[in-house]
Amino acid sequence: MEKSFDERFKAFDQNYFEITEKIARAAERSGRRPEDITLLAATKTVPVEVINHAVSKGLKHLGENRVQEFLDKYDRLDKDGCDLQFIGQLQTNKVKYLVGKVSCIQSVDSVKLAGEISRLCARDGLTMDVLVEVNIGREENKGGVAPERLVEFIDEIRVLPGLHVSGLMAIPPICGDKKILCRYFAGMEKYYVDIRGKSMDNVDMVCLSMGMSSDFPEAIECGATMVRVGSSLFGARP
Ligand SMILES: *Cc1c(COP(=O)(O)O)cnc(C)c1O
């Protein structure tokens, strides 16, 4: 049987408490403060009622990864004081639905996509924060810029008006071996630090978004500043 909203609210409260604790401990292990790490809730398939409950408990950063679902929920969402971001693969022709509604698009991996974000934001006098998605595992059929092209790619998009490059995002290959996973995370942190060292105009490496339900503590230990957590907060997806 499906869980009632009441059961889902209770489960969320417990999960939120535990995840906040785990984030704090991982932050301390990596020599940082708990508040240096941003928890972004990945809300795909989660009903608006449950999301609004989460917001009432203090969750501030929400990420959707399908445009249609984002729009379906948008009007009913308690958005006051919330930061909405887009974390999924994005088709160029759908950027128009996000401009003015999200603070950041985390999945920029083509000049064409960056160009459309720029065009629409510049037209409306807005600036969109973007993260460049990196295909850290060099997987075929996966989004993200190849690591060896990363600097060149950022150099190409950073000059676009209406767009501000504020960090990197990655979804490493599915992998049971935490050591291998940490190698991917550490690789991301190295790119992040290297690019910051280049002090490029309109590029501020302030967000390194990596780590999900199964591996967010490891990601934080390797330098993540933002983790995107879904099922551990809201329960398994249908
Ligand atoms: C669903 C999703 C997550 C969260 O995944 P969980 O394993 O449920 O925590 C993180 N990032 C992206 C891009 C997602 O689509």
Domain assignment present for residue 235? The answer is: no
What pLDDT shows up at residue 3? 86
What pLDDT shows up at residue 71? 98
CA of 152 from ligand 1 middle (Å) equals 28
Q: pLDDT confidence of 1, banded at 50, 70, 90?
A: low
- Most ligand 1 atoms within 8 A of CB, residue of 188, 228, 237 to mutate: 228
What pLDDT shows up at residue 19? 98
What pLDDT shows up at residue 127? 98
- Most ligand 1 atoms within 8 A of CB, residue of 38, 171, 212, 231 to mutate: 212
Give the burial class of 24: count Cβ atoms within 10 A of its Cβ; 0-12 exposed, 13-18 middle, 19 or more buried: middle
Domain assignment present for residue 237? The answer is: no
**Tens digit of pLDDT for each residue in 63-87?**
999 999 999 999 999 999 999 999 9
The CATH number given to whatever domain includes residue 125 is: 3.20.20.10
pTM of the entire structure?
0.97
**Above 70 in pLDDT, residue 238?**
yes
What pLDDT shows up at residue 234? 98
Across the strands, what pairs with 168?
132, 208
Quick one: how far is CA 105 from the chain centroid?
8
Domain assignment present for residue 30? The answer is: yes
Domain assignment present for residue 200? The answer is: yes
Overall domain count for the chain: 1
89 lines ligand 1 (CB under 6 A): no
Domain assignment present for residue 93? The answer is: yes
**CA separation for the pair 204, 162 (Å, rounded):** 15
Q: Which atom of ligand 1 is nearest to the CA of 232?
A: 9
What is the total residue count of the chain? Answer: 238
CA of 42 from ligand 1 middle (Å) equals 6
**Tens digit of pLDDT for each residue in 161-199?**
999 999 999 999 998 899 999 999 999 999 999 999 999
**Tens digit of pLDDT for each residue in 33-64?**
999 999 999 999 999 999 999 999 999 999 99
Rounded to an integer, the average pLDDT of 196-211 is: 98
What pLDDT shows up at residue 2? 77
Domain assignment present for residue 42? The answer is: yes
Distances in Å between the Cα of 121 and the Cα atoms of 10, 100, 164 are 40, 8, 11
Domain assignment present for residue 238? The answer is: no
The range of the structural domain enclosing residue 58 comes to: 5-230
Protein residue with least CA distance to atom 11, ligand 1: 228
**Tens digit of pLDDT for each residue in 94-152?**
999 999 999 999 999 999 999 999 999 999 999 999 999 999 999 998 999 999 999 99
